[in-house]
Homo-oligomer: A and B are copies of this chain.
Amino acid sequence: MLAARYKEMLNQKSVIRDMFYFACDRVVAHGAENVFDYSIGNPSVPVPVAYNKKIAELLEGPDFITVHGYSPNLGILSVREKISSYLNKTYDMAYKADHIFMTAGAASAICHALRCVVEEGEEVIVFAPYFPEYRPYIELNGGVMRVVEPDTTAFQIDFDKLERALNEKTAAVMVNSPSNPSGAVFSEETLKKLAALLTEKQKQYGHEIFIISDEPYREIVFNGQTVPYVSKYYDNTLSCYSFSKSLSVPGDRIGYLAANPDCLDAEMIAPMCGQISRGLGHNCPTAFIQLAVGELIGTTADLSVYETNMNLLYDAFTDMGIACIRPNGTFYLFPKAPEPDAKAFCDKAKYANLIFVPGDSFGCPGYFRVSFCRDTETVKRSIPVLRDFMRKTYGI
């Protein structure tokens, strides 16, 4: 028989995908130039030329076994070395290659991290608003997801609510800074307070609590700011990184898990991930893609368009009186809907060819996500349409 659990999941719909498919239908009916699809987070800036060139070079080389042969279980050593050096230089850490495990993007890194530190039935804390895929990641890997309600004043952490959520069954806390969907970056103050609280609770409960830090947007930051590196503030941190956004290559499936060198049994994490991988069945990410990103560590696509788009849309929304925290990073805005029901708002907006995603599926009703990884000309053309829609529908 088919497994009941996954059969039931077929009835679950991804609101993001639904909105995206709606946008695709609107494009057919109304023309691509008239539909403003702010639903899905597919990076929109070109892949660095050097990346494609490096892959082409590798494929042309004579050593097909290095290029197309099996990767070692934990990833290619030279690449893991380059990643650890880069992290040490950039964030003043002390990683060795041994702490790095190559993965097929952040999703894979998070699933490995969860299996590594969460036993069946233990709890994983998630701060709303959160990336909706956290729920299947956690639940399908044996954990129980516990949501901490949002701090909608600044999209930092509501520590009273966090304290009430923490308990003896807490095995891990998911952090996502810069955040999808809010665009907020956790401040140093937030991270220090979080670290102090978790350290206290570890003592109280007599066991470790890990931070699983989901960091695909680490390099997409605005106003020349830097993102405090989560692992710097708390030893028991597993950092989950993806090159999807920094290199604009989400389809290539490449990232890594970096275990803080001072975390519990730090030298065991990557080998344990190697064992976990046998059950997840994907083994390593594509070997030649590992080699290519290894050569490009620290390089990014030209990410400046995201800041340009953010400013245009932030100004437009706030000018209309729509409440919105100014994002410090990512390619998302997370404004408050002009009516209490963000789903109703998004359903109206979509017929004006403005495709947003309601915050409900991010655990934050009343807000909506604007994924502005689009070309700036499209963003500019959308603003009069947005103003027109808001005026006609909400009189603003």
Contacts and interface: CB of A to CB of B under 8 A. Distances in A.
A239 to B, nearest CB: 15
A279 B110 CA distance: 10
Interface stretch (A81-89, A263-271, A315-323, A363-371): A263-271
Contact of A286 (B4, B119, B253, B279): B253
Given A281-B280, A282-B282, A67 B251 contact: yes
A136 interface: yes
B280 A282 contact: yes
A60 B109 CA distance: 29
Number of copies: 2
A361 B3 CA distance: 30
A70 interface: yes
A117 interface: yes
Contact of A52 (B60, B103, B115, B251): B60
Interface string A272-310: 100110111111111111000000000000000000000
A2 to B, nearest CB: 6
B283 A253 contact: yes
A111 B281 contact: yes
Interface in A29-83: 40, 42-44, 46-47, 52, 55-56, 59-60, 64-65, 67-71
Nearest to A17: B73
A382 interface: no
A336 B289 CA distance: 41
A28 to B, nearest CB: 16
B42 A271 contact: no
Contacts of A70: 40, 42, 250-251
B286 A6 contact: no
Chain A interface category by residue count: 35 or more
Contacts of A7: 265, 268, 272
B251 A3 contact: no
Contacts of A260: none
A144 interface: no
B250 A69 contact: yes
A107 B282 contact: yes
A69 B301 CA distance: 14
A116 interface: yes
28 contacts: A1-B171, A1-B264, A2-B265, A3-B116, A3-B118, A3-B272, A6-B116, A9-B275, A10-B271, A10-B272, A12-B275, A42-B65, A46-B64, A52-B59, A55-B59, A70-B251, A104-B281, A104-B282, A104-B283, A109-B281, A111-B280, A111-B281, A112-B281, A136-B275, A136-B279, A140-B278, A140-B279, A286-B286
Interface of A: 1-4, 6-7, 9-10, 12, 40, 42-44, 46-47, 52, 55-56, 59-60, 64-65, 67-71, 103-105, 107-112, 115-119, 133, 136-137, 139-141, 171, 207-208, 248-253, 264-265, 268-269, 271-272, 275-276, 278-289
